[in-house]
Structure 1
Amino acid sequence: MAGRIVRCPQCGGDAVFAPENKWRPFCSERCKQIDLGCWANEDYRIAGQVSDDEAGAPGLEFPDAPQR
């Protein structure tokens, strides 16, 4: 495999960043699945503003949003 060696975002190990590495930027399928699980569990969050549509939608809870 030819390509640049990068740090795996999950375990910190070496990962080849090339088309031949089907898990890139991760070093393995395991690290990719762990990362996906963290997103699914909402362990990772992207900061942002709540839109007016989202704030009024039933079933959505935003703890920082003002109560109506």
Structure 2
Amino acid sequence: MEVRALGEGDRGAAFATLVAAFAADPIARWVMPSAKGYLALFLAVRAHMAGPAFAAGGAFATACGA
């Protein structure tokens, strides 16, 4: 499996992948039951938690984008 480092230009696609991956997660949806709330809060939380990884060179993805 090929793994590549993600840069700032990959941030949007990486966050979109996370949003889609957790859209049906029971705990995430219990905390954020409305679609509008989920999108707003989940992106803010992910940006806070995962955002610094892009600047530090610590964000990675497989070659297929996962």
With structure 1 as the length reference, what TM-score do the two structures score? 0.31
Is the radius of gyration larger for structure 1 or structure 2? 1
Instruction: Give the structure, 1 or 2, with the largest relative contact order (CA under 8 Å, sep 6 or more).
Output: 2
TM-score, length basis structure 2:
0.31
